[in-house]
């Protein structure tokens, strides 16, 4: 029994590693030549770090450069407050590790490629599906060849080719915001408690994520307004930083042109059915998660865990896996996360329409003054709703490292 995984992102590579570690023949097909691209999802949550620790990988991974974000704060016109203190959680990993995604993917790929039943093929964009006379998917065509497999997994992101080829459609749920991402350098004088921070103004908000050498900054814009804002130039963004994020004011001038920004068209969508006979969708291919909460990688990782729990026992027995059960294990969590994100989007749209700040209600500042609520907020974001546990059966058959 063999598995072909389209997409070398966090979910695809982790699932490939788990399957190969359990002795399953698995091939990951990555459309690009390498992972060296400017990803925006850099957040490794405590759930992910605990999982990697259980797999014996966390220690080596955290030897790589990363930034430990120990709190998540809101800066609003009425004041500043923390809504999540990760260092209060009962875990050795009381923080979100912010690491360039390319480093994480390179690390996972290196460890997976050391397993004898794992193959990584790069520059291998999927171009078609192989099917039998009954419509069951039996493999893929890709740039460079064909590959037959007992199961094809589409983990190829929000613009999934596998999803399109399979005739599965993602239904939009209501995103109203896009984000412009750019980077500004760190300074020794920067606030020591700046980790994951949102700064709210009247017409926009800015997210600031810490890094070892720089800050990743996301500036919110109304969906579809990019062309108009580009014609206005970057001065409105610099003015927002000077007014709302004053400790970055001395570097605002370094943003000189829209070419320094990357547009992230925010999407929240979900496929009604994540599977067909012989085919399974995971991660953003099945359900696009917005950047709200920074948990896109977390959801993909948890999808991979749920999939491995079902796939490994079935494939070891030479049986057809129950793909509906994998979606069944994950759908409540995805629906909960996406519903929360849709509420944030609607609140932002309503605030823009009224010309008011999209900042959360002021009473939350009083509530989050209670340490237990900040701990609860951290736990909710660190593990997500209904987090799956990797079954011991997945690890029962270990291969030499």
* Other CB atoms within 10 Å distance of the CB of residue 106: 16
Q: Are residues 131 and 47 in the same domain?
A: yes
Within this chain, do residues 279 and 322 fall inside the same structural domain, yes or no? yes
CA geometry: angle 144, 147, 152, nearest 5 deg: 120
Model pLDDT, residue 401: 42
Q: Would residue 358 count as lying in a domain?
A: no
Residue 75 lies in a domain: no
Domain count, the chain: 2
Structure tokens at 184: 């500004």
pLDDT value at residue 400: 43
**One domain, residues 142 and 239:** no
Same domain, 127 and 274: yes
Q: Which of 264, 296, 316 is the last residue of a domain?
A: 264
User: H-helix or E-strand containing 298?
Assistant: helix 296-316
CATH number reported for the structural domain that contains residue 319 in this entry: 3.50.50.60
Please check whether residues 34 and 167 belong to one and the same domain: yes
Closest by alpha carbon to 117, among 157, 84, 149?
A: 149
Tell me: do 191 and 309 sit in the same domain.
Answer: no
> Quick one: 249 and 208 in the same domain?
yes
Q: Are residues 271 and 260 in the same domain?
A: no
> 255 and 328 in one domain?
no
Q: Note whether 21 and 110 are same-domain residues.
A: yes
Work out the end-to-end distance of the chain between its first and last CA atoms, rounded to an integer number of angstroms: 22
312 and 166 inside one domain: yes
Task: Give the phi and the psi of residue 89 in degrees, each rounded to 5.
Answer: -80, 145
Q: Model pTM?
A: 0.93
In residues, how long is the chain? 401
Q: Could you tell me which residues come within 8 angstroms of residue 192 by beta carbon, excluding any fewer than 6 positions away?
A: none
Q: Are residues 195 and 289 in the same domain?
A: no
Is residue 252 assigned to a domain?
Answer: yes
Kindly state whether residue 87 falls inside one of the protein's structural domains: no
Q: Is residue 121 part of a domain?
A: yes
Query: How far apart are alpha carbons 102 and 250 in whole angstroms?
Result: 29
Range of the domain at 183: 177-222+224-264
**In a domain? residue 306:** yes
Pairing outcome for strands 262-264 and 269-271: unpaired
285 in a domain, yes or no?
yes
20 part of a folded domain: yes
Between strands 43-44 and 96-98, the pairing is: antiparallel
Q: Residue 239 sits in a domain of what CATH number?
A: 3.30.9.10
pLDDT in tens, the chain (401 residues): 899 999 999 999 999 999 999 999 999 999 998 887 765 668 999 999 999 999 999 999 999 999 999 998 888 877 788 888 999 999 999 999 999 999 999 999 999 999 999 999 999 999 999 999 999 999 999 998 999 999 999 999 999 999 999 999 999 998 888 999 999 999 999 998 888 899 988 778 899 998 888 999 999 998 889 999 999 999 999 999 999 999 999 999 999 999 999 998 889 999 999 999 999 999 999 999 988 778 899 999 999 999 999 999 999 999 999 999 999 999 999 999 999 988 888 877 776 666 666 666 665 666 677 888 889 989 999 999 999 999 998 887 554 44
Give yes or no for a contact between 29 and 144, defined as CB atoms under 8 angstroms apart: no
């Amino acid at each position: 029994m063999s598995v072909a995984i389209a997409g070398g992102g966090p979910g695809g590579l982790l699932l490939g590693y788990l399957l190969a570690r359990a002795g399953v023949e698995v091939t990951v097909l990555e459309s690009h030549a390498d992972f060296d691209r400017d990803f925006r999802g850099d957040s490794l949550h405590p759930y992910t770090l605990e999982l990697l620790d259980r797999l014996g990988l966390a220690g080596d991974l955290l030897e790589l450069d990363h930034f430990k974000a120990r709190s998540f704060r809101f800066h609003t016109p009425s004041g500043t407050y923390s809504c999540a203190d990760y260092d209060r959680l009962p875990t050795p990993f009381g923080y979100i590790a912010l690491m360039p995604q390319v480093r994480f993917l390179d690390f996972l790929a290196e460890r997976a490629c050391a397993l004898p039943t794992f193959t990584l093929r790069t520059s291998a964009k999927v171009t078609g599906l192989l099917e039998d006379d009954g419509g069951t998917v039996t493999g893929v065509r890709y740039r460079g060849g064909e590959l037959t497999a007992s199961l094809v997994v589409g983990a190829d992101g929000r613009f999934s080719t596998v999803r399109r080829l399979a005739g599965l459609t993602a239904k939009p749920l209501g995103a109203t915001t896009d984000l412009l991402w750019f980077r500004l350098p760190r300074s020794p004088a920067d606030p020591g408690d700046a980790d994951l921070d949102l700064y709210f103004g009247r017409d926009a908000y800015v997210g600031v994520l810490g890094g070892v050498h720089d800050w990743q900054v996301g500036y919110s814009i109304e969906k579809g307004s990019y062309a108009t804002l580009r014609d206005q130039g970057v001065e409105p963004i610099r003015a927002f930083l000077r007014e709302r994020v004053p400790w970055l004011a001395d570097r605002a001038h370094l943003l000189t042109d829209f070419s320094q920004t990357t547009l992230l068209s925010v999407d929240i969508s979900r496929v009604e059915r994540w599977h067909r006979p012989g085919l399974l969708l995971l991660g953003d291919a099945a359900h696009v998660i917005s950047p709200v909460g920074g948990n896109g990688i977390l959801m993909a990782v948890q999808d991979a865990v749920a999939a491995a729990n079902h796939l490994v026992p079935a494939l070891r027995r030479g049986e057809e896996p129950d793909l509906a059960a994998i979606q069944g294990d994950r759908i409540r969590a995805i629906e909960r996360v996406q519903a929360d994100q849709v509420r944030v989007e609607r609140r932002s749209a309503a605030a823009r329409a009224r010309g008011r700040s999209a900042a959360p209600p002021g009473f939350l500042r009083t509530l989050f003054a209670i340490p237990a609520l900040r701990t609860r907020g951290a736990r909710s974001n660190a593990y997500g709703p209904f987090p799956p546990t990797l079954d011991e059966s997945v690890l029962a058959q270990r291969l030499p490292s």
